[in-house]
Structure 1
Amino acid sequence: MRLNHLTLLVDDVAGTRDFLQKYFEMKTMGKPNDHMSFLTDDNGMVMGIFKSKGAQYPEGFHIGFIQPSEEKVNEIHQQMIRDGLEAESPRKLHGSWTFYYRCPGGFLVEVLH
């Protein structure tokens, strides 16, 4: 069994979509717009991103992108820094090399190995 799809509610559909495409190589499905977009990954998981004014996620809610190496985690982090994002530095946490970043959609993204 594998996760098939996930829907997230966000204030900024385009910003969230662009962020996930740029840093995590997610690909757009269909015709995206500012009210909803669908993304997919290399494993066929589909993420729906829907506009919702004032969407709030509980503390600790996050999505994670597992990377093949600590070097890849560092590479993504450095790209974010070069792009002017204020991402916390990667560190050893719960047995993983990881960092978190609050994306334009308002939820946390974890990047880990």
Structure 2
Amino acid sequence: MELNHVNLQVDDVQSAQEFMAEYFEMEPVGETDPDAAIVALTDDDGFVFTLMDTGTEEVVTHPSHIGFFLEDRDAIDGFHDRLAEDGFTVTNTEVRHGVYDFYVEAPGGFSIEVGAWG
């Protein structure tokens, strides 16, 4: 299992993006709009760091979380079933933004996305 990304809510997406680029060498994934409410940054290893404006509706449906990726849908389904059987609160699996995934509420109150491309 690979830690793939972190998604954080921030008050100022543009300033946070500039800070991460200047001091941590993270570059935007694709073209970015200066007024964008969501920006994905990446490093040389392919780790993705997503910044999301706290003032957007998207925050409600896509809260701060960390994301782990598995190899394929079968692995996702098996891991989903294991967590559900062990009594954890998990969302249904579905395809979102090109990723087959689900979310689990971890002890301590934080969210984890578990997904695979496609």
Q: TM-score range by the shorter chain?
A: 0.3 to 0.5
TM-score normalised by length of structure 1: 0.46
Normalized against structure 2, the TM-score is what? 0.44
Greater radius of gyration (CA): 2
